[in-house]
Amino acid sequence: MNILKREKNILLLSIFIGTFITMVFMLFTKSYSYNIQKGIADEVIRLHVLANSDEDYDQQLKIKVKDGIVKMLENQLHSSMSKDETRIILLQNLDKIEKKAKEIIIENGYSYDVNAKISFDNFPTKQYGDVVLPAGEYEALKVEIGNAKGKNWWCVMFPPLCFVDASVKEVPKEDKELLKSILTDTEYDIVTKAEDKNNIPIKIKFKIIEMWQK
């Protein structure tokens, strides 16, 4: 009986220690991922375009609006050297952004209203070429088309990754250098390395962290 009792106590102790270690690990990982994401978000401003609906024609219109806005702001955004400078450019151009979006909407035969503003939104893990940004809250130019009930378009206005073709495998060197100049070495390594030292894809690790965040 004493042997069975001792084995039972050892088993219970093992379960307790295992649970404690797991909880500590999860809390540490969540805290670490939050700090990394916040550090990145503090230096990045994004674009968030919401389509009127998920109908194909509304989704196609969303892309046309996004392309028009990005092209209109391209020269100004490429000359920006900071998030604050980009925010000022966007705030100064909100009326022009709405006007441009409405022009594109009318040209395509629709009459949706448009609302453009700077706000904070939650973004999923997103890859741009060989750069991956973790899920979390980011400041963004938010453009709502009509009812804004459709799927979103996300990209990065500073650094100007909105201008990176979706089909390219690597972000241009000059954009990476800008990204490196505004992030810590750890943050930069995390968002630009396809795999970590254990050969686990960074995007998959971010997805796991995203699930823990939820």
For residue range 114-142, list pLDDT tens digits in order.
999 999 988 888 887 778 888 889 999 99
Q: Are strands 45-50 and 136-145 parallel, antiparallel or unpaired?
A: parallel
For residue range 44-95, list pLDDT tens digits in order.
999 999 999 999 999 999 999 999 999 999 889 888 888 999 999 999 999 9
Structure tokens at 93: 């151009």
DSSP 120: E
Residue 18 has pLDDT above 80, yes or no: no
Would you state the pLDDT for residue 154? 82
For residue range 59-73, list pLDDT tens digits in order.
999 999 999 999 999
Omega of the bond leading into 134 within 30 degrees of 0 (cis):
no
Q: What is the mean pLDDT of residues 141-159?
A: 90
Domain ranges of the chain: 39-212
Q: What is the mean pLDDT of residues 167-192?
A: 80
Show Cβ contacts of residue 153 under 8 Å, excluding neighbours closer than 6 positions: 47, 48, 49, 51, 62, 63, 66
User: Contact, 116 vs 157, CB < 8 A?
Assistant: no
